[in-house]
Amino acid sequence: MKQKFLFITFIVISAIVSCKKDKQTHGGSSSSSNNSSNPFMTGHRWEYEDTLTMDFGDTVTVQYEHSINKIDSMFTLNGYDSVFNISSYDTSYSSQSAWSRSSFYRNDNTGLYYIGYQPGTTRVFLRPINQKTYKILFHGNLYTLDEFRLFIKTLTNTNNTSDTIILENPSLLTLKYPVTEGDNWTYRPINNPFGIYKMYGNTVTVQTPIGPIACRTVQITWDTNNDGIIDTDWNETQYVSSQKSLVKTLFVAQGTIIVDSLGNPIDTTTWTENCTLSYLNF
C-alpha cells in the first residue's frame, strides 16, 4: 500500500479536500451518445452538501461543508469560443471558514475540457477552540488542511496566465464524448504533477435530497508516485447526469496514518468524503 498522508495533530481547523478536486469538471451522458442536452448555460446553479468522515475504529469524526457553484458568463479565452466560467463559494460548517474561486471550461462534440482557474479568497470567521486540526505531509511537503485543499483543487502543469487566470497547457479532457461504458482516458499524465486517469462505468440511480437521478459513473484513479503503478488506497467515483451535470462524488483514502506533533504514528483512519447535489435551479 502506498503511503499518501501523515496527519499531524495541531491546533484548530476542520474539513479536508472537498469535492472541488473535480467539482467543476462535470457533464456526460447516461447513454452511449454525444452530449444531447447542455446543462452548461449562463445562470445555472448547483449546490452540494459535503460530508467528511474519518473512521478510527472505536471513534468516528464527521465534518460538513456546503458548496455553491454558478455559471456566470460565456466568453472567448485562450483562443477558444464559448468558454464558461463557474464561480464557486464554499463554507465549512466545522471551521466556519469560506473560500471562493472561478474555474473555466469549454464544451464541444469531443468532450468537456478544463482550461484553468482564477484564484479567489479565503476567509475565516471563527476557529472553535475546542476542535483539533491536522497537518498533512504529502510528498515531503507539510500542509494545513486549507493549504492541502487548495493544492488539490489548483493542480496545474503551467504557470501561464491570462488576465490573472492560471491556464492548463494543454487543456484537460474532463469528460470524453461520446460517453461509452468502459472507455478510458488520461486526465493528467505522469509528472503533471502526477498521473490521474478516468474510465466510464455503469449507469446507476443516485438518491439525492432533490430526488433520484439516473447517472453514469466515472472511476478516477491516481498515480501520485509517478511510477506507473495505480494507487490502491486512494480512489474516487463521480456520478454524472447528461441533464444535471455532477450529481455525486465519493472519495476514499484508506490507511491514513495519524501522527503526534513529533511525527510518531498514533492511529490510522479511513477518510471518506461524500459530496451530493442538494439543489439546482434548472
- Say if residue 212 is preceded by a cis peptide, omega within 30 of 0: no
Comparing C-alpha atoms, which of 141, 166, 164, 147 is closest to residue 156? Answer: 166
pLDDT of residue 7: 38
Give the cell for residue 179.
Answer: 460517453
Q: What is the pTM of this model?
A: 0.78
pLDDT of residue 22: 37
pLDDT of residue 94: 63
pLDDT of residue 78: 81
Number of neighbours of residue 250 by Cβ within 10 angstroms: 16
Give me the residues of the chain with pLDDT under 50, please: 1-36, 126-132, 158-162
Q: How many angstroms separate the CA atoms of 119 and 170, rounded?
A: 19
Comparing C-alpha atoms, which of 142, 229, 236, 166 is closest to residue 194? Answer: 229
